[in-house]
Amino acid sequence: MKSKILILLSFTLIILGMGTASVSAESSTITKSSKKITAYRKHEVSSKKVVKKETEKEQIAEEAVVYSPNTYPIGQCTWGVKELAPWAGNNWGNANDWASSAVSEGFTVETTPKVGAILVWSDGGYGHVAFVTEVGEDGLIQVQESNYAGNMTINNYRGWFNPNDGVTPGIVSYIYPKN
């Protein structure tokens, strides 16, 4: 017997035996285009019964497998970009690792900004990532990002800016979605 349950939670759920479990949800507020919305991290739990014979007794165990669309810590820049670019990998590491992780998964990484690309700064400790929303003819861009200047929500905090101006340190590169 297989069943799928859609639940909201922010931690890994492990169920053993036949019982009930209560689950709470973790949420965060996202500001996007002057609207405030609440985002919940969704986890899908698939469970199946496994029958195991032990002498004359039957034991039934229930296994739970958790699938998450976004495994990055809520509020961090990596979480914000994963929310905006679900095609980004869940295991790309810190922001300064994203370009090399993307290349290893077959994504194209270059130095020209494009709408829908992920902007990566390689320095500043852990690096920083943002999602490109607009590119001007003059080379200035606009982005949506999280954890910019300590702001843990997704927003456009910079307006039009030059990503190579040194305000955010590091080499600038862009990860493009696969076609």
Tens-place pLDDT, residues 96-115: 999 999 999 999 999 999 99
Q: Give the model's pLDDT for residue 45.
A: 38
Overall pTM surpassing 0.75 (yes/no): no
Q: Give the model's pLDDT for residue 163.
A: 95
* Architecture of the structural domain at 77-176: Alpha-Beta Complex (3.90)
CA 40 and chain centroid, separation: 12
Distances (CA, A) of 162 to 115, 116, 119, 138: 15, 17, 12, 9
**Residue ranges in the chain whose pLDDT is less than 70:** 1-68
Where does CATH 3.90.1720.10 sit in the chain?
Answer: 77-176
Q: Give the model's pLDDT for residue 68.
A: 61
Q: Which pair of tokens denotes residue 94?
A: 């810190």
Gap between the Cα atoms of 134 and 143, Å rounded: 7
Give the bridge partners for 148, in sequence order.
151
